[in-house]
Amino acid sequence: MALSETVTFGAAEGGIDRATHLREQSDRLLRNPRAALLPLWQGKPLIDLTGAPALGWAPPDPEILARAAEEPVFLGMSESTPCFTADFSAMPEDDADDLFCAGDDGEPGGDGAKFIDLRSIAPDLSPAGAATAATAKGVLEWHRTHRFCATCGAPSEIADGGWRRTCTDRSCNRFHFPRTDPVVIMLVLRDDEVLVGRQSAWPEGVYSLLAGFMEPGETIEDAVRRETFEEAGIRVGEVGYLASQPWPFPASLMIGCQGKALDREIVMDPLELEDAQWISRAKMQVILAGKHPKFRPPRAGAIAGAILRDWAAGRIETL
């Protein structure tokens, strides 16, 4: 199986060094002449389209930061450049376009910059760029939904360069940190076939690996077995880890596993799935190549597609 670093949003090299030891100095770093800001609007990162799609960095000028929802989050260092992100979702769309997307002629989009949904643009970004955008989207979404202390209900405020919120009620003073929800996604195999399913909301013909959120008190292996049985009625024996993928929609970590099916008869839960099937390796190769008349491959950039491609190509040592 390809390493997690090769999965979309999983790049470890060539990206930003999180430089956690510098987070308490973020105010000073923000004044660095080299500092750069990645703006997000309604969860969409600013993308520079003047060439190959790339992150659209802006100067963190005080006039710009005054329009942000809260103070910026320190993402880390790109060599000698301190990198930040901030949420501008409170601005009307036209105002945000005027602020970040206007060219020399004053027309929005004149310089080729645009706020674009990360799911759609991620496969076109560099691995490091996609990973940085995922971090920015994930941490800003956490701030957006955690403005108040979960212990006492008082407002909370940004601290530690944006990687902590502190309750403003000094009798409480509770610290809150960004959270990630673990999700198992399973390559369930029996002989030379893989178990796939589809939800009714998906585009016609799209099938993918089964997946589900882990529950408190579960191991990864237990979650793989429970979710597979709940959704498709298939019992799973041995379970092994494959790879993981940060998935900031809104705050998940996809934990890719393989599982050995102990039976073949599918008993589907119609509340979970519209359909579930066993697909042979040869048929999956045709699907992934986009040549099957009825089936379509998983969404580009999703770990399910990466796992299925490696399995179909024989790059996964099965249990």
Q: Do domains 4-145 and 181-312 have the same CATH topology?
A: yes
What is the largest distance, in Å, between two alpha-carbon atoms of the chain?
A: 65
CB atoms within 10 A of CB 78: 18
Per-residue pLDDT for the chain (319 aa), expressed as one digit of tens each?
556 778 999 887 778 999 999 999 999 999 999 999 999 999 999 999 999 999 999 999 999 999 999 999 999 999 999 999 999 999 999 999 999 986 544 444 445 899 999 999 999 999 999 999 999 999 999 999 999 999 999 999 999 999 999 999 999 999 999 999 999 999 999 999 999 999 999 999 999 999 999 999 999 999 999 999 999 999 999 999 999 999 999 999 999 999 999 999 999 999 999 999 999 999 999 999 999 999 999 988 999 999 999 999 999 999 9
At 110 the pLDDT is 45
Query: Comparing C-alpha atoms, which of 163, 168, 134, 131 is closest to residue 151?
Result: 168
Amino acid occupying residue 245? Q
At 15 the pLDDT is 86
Q: Dihedrals φ, ψ of 183, to 5°? A: -130, 130
Looking up tokens 């880390």 gives 76
Options 1.10.10, 1.25.40, 3.90.79, 3.30.70; which CATH number does 4-145 get? 3.90.79
Q: DSSP 3-state assignment of 4?
A: helix
10 Å CB burial of residue 241 (0-12, 13-18, 19+) is middle
CATH code for residues 181-312: 3.90.79.10
At 102 the pLDDT is 63
Cβ atoms of 72 and 30 closer than 8 Å: yes
10 Å CB burial of residue 50 (0-12, 13-18, 19+) is exposed
Cβ atoms of 252 and 138 closer than 8 Å: no
CB atoms within 10 A of CB 23: 18
Domain edges within the chain = 4-145, 181-312
Cβ atoms of 205 and 277 closer than 8 Å: no
pTM for this structure?
A: 0.92
At 109 the pLDDT is 42
At 4 the pLDDT is 74
How far apart, in whole angstroms, are the C-alpha atoms of residue 30 and residue 82? 7
At 204 the pLDDT is 95
What region does 162 belong to: left with phi over 0, alpha with psi -120 to 50, or beta?
Answer: left
Cβ atoms of 247 and 255 closer than 8 Å: no
Extract the tokens encoding 255. 């934990």
